[in-house]
Amino acid sequence: MRRLAIVPLVFALALGFAAPALATTLLELDVPEMAQRSELVFVGRVVGQSSRLDRDAEGIRVLTDTAFAVDRVLKGEKIRDFTLTQIGGTAGEGTERRTQVVHAQAAFQVGESVVLFLERTTTGRLVPTGMEQGKYTLSPGEPPLAVRQSYKPRAAKVREARVKTFAGAPLDGDRLTLPQLEALIRGERPVPAPVRVLRTPQVSLPKPEVRR
């Protein structure tokens, strides 16, 4: 059985909105593992984001709501939109203004296209699977490239032996084409990525020497 080693309170911070801590150690997850753990996986666009102060018996915290327009659901219930609530961000005015940061948490920008893996916690919330590992950013192109930034400072990841791997699967799980990513989510062997020719090099050959 795999164990996830995490400094106390950081995981609770991400999942149950507890107090902040300083460092995190995450178990590195490949795409099939994330797909298995996730209740919902979709392709969508970030259409809005706002932060607010939230008060409870434990004090004041900052919550950030990120709204998505869902283009396609790859796993889970079919939905057209989704709002993700995470602790962290900047909100409030004057003496009430606060900033909270959660290391290794997925960050989003309005306008970006993403593939988002979401797992349900014991508190009933849907959160990015494996924290920042559960977010892939899609870049323009044909096919689109899916990239995840999962090596932020102060968030160490631990790799363990895989139970199952696919022959021919991409070696870099942080950089895949969208069709490759979708194939891995479905539990299929991904097709090789097409070769992209950026520029045909011009080769100038020396003229043969003519001796008379």
Question: Collapsing DSSP states into helix, strand and coil, what is residue 133?
Answer: helix
3-state secondary structure 38-78: CCEEEEEEEEEEEEEEEEECCEEEEEEEEEEEEEEEEECCC
> In this predicted structure, what is the pLDDT of residue 23?
53
pLDDT of residue 193: 59
For the segment 148-177, what is each residue's pLDDT rounded down to a tens digit? Answer: 976 554 445 555 545 455 555 555 789 999
Collect the ranges in the chain with pLDDT lower than 50.
1-22, 153-155, 161, 163
The pTM of this model reads 0.74
Domains and CATH numbers, the chain: 10-186 (2.40.50.120)
Q: What angle do CA 43, 184, 29 make, to 5 degrees?
A: 90
